[in-house]
Amino acid sequence: MARTRYASDRGLTSRMVVTMFLLGLVYVAFVAAFFAIAPSWGLVALAIAVAFLLAQYFFSDRLTMFAMHGRVVSEREAPELHGVVDRICAMSDAPKPRVAVADTDVPNAFATGRNQKKAVVCVTTGLLRRLDPVELEGVLAHEMSHVAHKDVAVMTIASFLGVCAGLITRLGLEWGLWGGFGRRDGDQNTGLVLLAVVLVSAVAYAISFLLTRALSRYRELSADRAASLLTGRPSALASALTKVSGEMARIPGRDLRAAEPFNAFFFAPAFAKGFSVSALFATHPPLQRRLAQLQRISDQLGRGV
């Protein structure tokens, strides 16, 4: 962790190390299985995977900002927003990230970037309209703690294997259904190899999915804790959480569905109305658990602990 005044979290650090180690083992097994099953495709798949990893790592901030229609704003364009970020930087002794705004009514915020020098903290126009300055400070302190703890970079890397494995699974199924599997005169061995590749990719995706979701839930609790201890106002963060979660119900389902793929980076998850697989494998802990933790911190600060 960088030298800031954010409270360190050994639990988060250990979980990030374990997650990266386990994902590394899964990645090695995934590549080895790919070479064993389909050696003629192995080098091509590996080259594509490495290129994708480098692009995701080095350009993650730009890709996320582009996908969310975020725009970096100057102090002249958003003086109040910059003022809040400046106060947090002064409190945390952390370098100032770039400040951005996304033009959407979905009330949320996120941080991205592989390190503090490349970090971007983005808030939506919907969030700015709904929160008062104290609540906004709590949300931004939460997002900036992700940068200080370096879990933004870990989540970017950790999601890589799942994205690649999911893509291979989808392409393999499409090719199998419309190509090799559907031809009577096709090579049966090719069909079996393709099926094996799809199965290996599916297993790798499932493992990486569960690992990253578990890390994501813990890192949100860690960011809540670090932000509330830094600002000394856990009640403000709790108020922002309650307000944002309640406002989600008023957002059109179309907008929520567009935002759902970025839930792992959001301050609060955006779920479309009705059934959602994302709700079963949540990126965030339940709201009541987050509020209960903030209440405990508030009690501790009140007792001077």
Produce one character per residue of 29-40: b if its CB has 16 or more CB atoms within 10 Å, e if not.
ebbebbeebbee
The two tokens of residue 217 are 């839930």
Q: Give the C-alpha distances (Å, rounded to integers) separating 240 from 76, 232, 245, 268.
A: 26, 15, 8, 10
**Cβ-contact 120, 96 below 8 angstroms:** no
Catalytic residue among 137, 143, 220, 247: 143
Mark whether 260 is an active-site residue: no
Provide Rg for the chain, Cα atoms.
Answer: 21
Q: Give the C-alpha distances (Å, rounded to integers) separating 111 from 136, 194, 283.
A: 14, 38, 15
**Residue 69, SS3 per DSSP:** coil
Which residues neighbour 14 within 8 Å (Cβ) at sequence distance 6 or greater?
none
A 10 A CB-CB count for 129 gives 10
Distance (Å, rounded) from C-alpha 129 to C-alpha 38? 54
- Dihedral-angle region of residue 181 (phi above 0 means left; psi in -120 to 50 means alpha; beta otherwise): alpha
- Which active-site residues does the annotation give? 143
